[in-house]
A = this chain, B = another copy of it.
């Protein structure tokens, strides 16, 4: 085996991920893109590939510091902080790790709905507090099966959610920019407010980024109404968080299951006062199985680049 290729590894990685990088590459580890400028000119001018993860900005300023850069292999589906326009302009290809996490995110979304609607936290507390023994049954809650469900953004993850919910005998409605290839019984809407008027549960599975900021706004939430649930497993930015907090506090919708937040990992403290939410710390793809598959795909893209083989999952 010849000399290993050099890469820059930016972001927080676990021990086993760090080990994987070291196994295949001569790896230089940085916590943030802000640290690139602290590398020696010699190294900066040799680096052709970056393994990227996380929340720091990666744009033209960084591309200037890495003049030979050709590949950003991103860990994750979303790459909100990478300037794709800038990358394309500088001849840099970005890859991501789609698909391998779809099932886990879809599972989490379904679980959020069930845990929220069937009030798992209350149920557990009903036992722990002694109420079950003292007062009998916990208060009744609401069925999931046979509900009218709306998917906002029928991408791969939205599809997986809808596909699971068919077996829960739910009616599937979806908003998307165009009609998607899907079972004919799934009803298309070109407008999210019209969709929200027809359904009782909304799953938000939009892509992140500027175009979808506050896409689920107070108009959509009002249209959903008092029996409505909102489940968001996309990005905190896709839902107008203050509008959501307002309707949750005033009980204008029934509840929300949220894996993502606007300023995560900082969370608006108003969420912590609510009893009609089920909140999770952006753990949609947080399984051993998904993370392993994501890491393998991130590394495969890096390997393919250095071998001159077609990239597996280019974005631009």
B-binding residues in A (CB < 8 A): 12, 103-104, 106-108, 110-111, 114-115, 118, 120-121, 123-124, 126-128, 132-133, 136-138, 140-146, 163-164, 166-169, 264-267, 272, 278-283, 286-291
Contact = CB atoms under 8 A, between A and B. Distances in A.
A273 B30 CA distance: 41
Contacts of A283: 118, 123, 137-138, 141
A90 B116 CA distance: 46
Nearest to A104: B143
B111 A120 contact: yes
A168 B103 contact: yes
B127 A279 contact: yes
B120 A266 contact: no
Contacts of A124: 121, 278-280
A142 B289 contact: yes
Contact of A281 (B126, B164, B168): B126
Contacts of A282: 137
A288 to B, nearest CB: 5
Contacts of A104: 143-145
A265 B132 contact: yes
B278 A138 contact: no
A138 B123 CA distance: 24
Given A103-B145, A141-B287, A281-B138, A127 B168 contact: no
B280 A140 contact: no
4 tightest A-B CB contacts, nearest first: A111-B114, A103-B145, A123-B280, A143-B289
Contacts of A272: 127-128
A265 to B, nearest CB: 4
